Structure 1
Amino acid sequence: MTQWRLWHGDVLVGELAEYGCDQPFFLANFTPGPGWESVRGLFEAWAAYRGADPDGTRFVALTKPIHDLRLSLAPADGRHPSLRLFENCMLKIDGAEARLRY
């Protein structure tokens, strides 16, 4: 399975190791990196997102701050281009678990 690195500029936020699939998401183990604490609160709020959101305003309020950071997700093997969060992929991190859709 694919290994990923999550970057905020040149700071490693964390690493993901895919282990399975729950369509349409790939499931991964998440290991925090040096930049995790600076974004942790945003991802915790996004992970807690549940319930009705008919017009999508809660979704936007939770994901826009993450999008605005311009985080990138790069394959560890470097064979494919990086993905930009909430432009090319969606990533939800909840503790040591991650769900990735690209």
Structure 2
Amino acid sequence: MRQSSGKIQGDPVWWVKCGDTLVGSLSSPESDQPWIVCHFEPSDGWESLSSLFEVQAEARRTGFPEDKVWAIKAVRELHLELHPVIDGEVLKPMLIYIEGAEARFRL
């Protein structure tokens, strides 16, 4: 376990992948219906996507203004997948937001 932002984070549960590129890992999942909220740890593939997720997060924080909603569609079109670290099926989130060390997604 590691500590981040004052919280202890568990081992990764899912790898976040865009095609064959590893974007990061998700750990410490908690339910906040209808969302699953996790700790996000970026990998090398995050750098090329981070600015898109920043615009998406800003759109959400500011009530989805017309000049920023394109980012939500662009993230959906990435077809990100959550691959289980140990066993289980690959998850394909309908929506996923990553902001700083927090990720939240809906199936």
Aligned residue type for 1:3: V
Structure 1 unaligned segments of length 5 or more: list them: none
Cα pair 1:15 1:30 within 8 Å, conserved: yes
Task: State how 1:60-75 maps to structure 2 within 5 Å.
Answer: 60-75=69-84
SS state at 1:48 partner? helix
Cα displacement string for residues 26-82 of structure 1 (whole angstroms, at most 9, x for unaligned residues): 1100000110001001111111123445xx856751222122223222222231133
- Which residue is equivalent to 1:94? 99
- Pair 1:32 & 2:42 matched: yes
Larger relative contact order, structure 1 or 2 (CA cutoff 8 Å, min sep 6): 1
2:86, 2:69 → 1: CA distance? 32
Structure 2 unaligned segments of length 5 or more: list them: 1-9
Aligned residue type for 1:78: D
How many pairs does the alignment contain?
96
TM-score (norm 1): 0.76
| Structure 1: 4+ residue segments shifted above 2 A | 50-53, 56-60, 67-71
SS state at 1:66 partner? helix
Q: Structure 1 vs Structure 2: percent identity of aligned residues? A: 35
Task: State how 1:1-102 maps to structure 2 within 5 Å.
Answer: 3-49=13-59, 50-53=61-64, 57=66, 60-83=69-92, 88-102=93-107
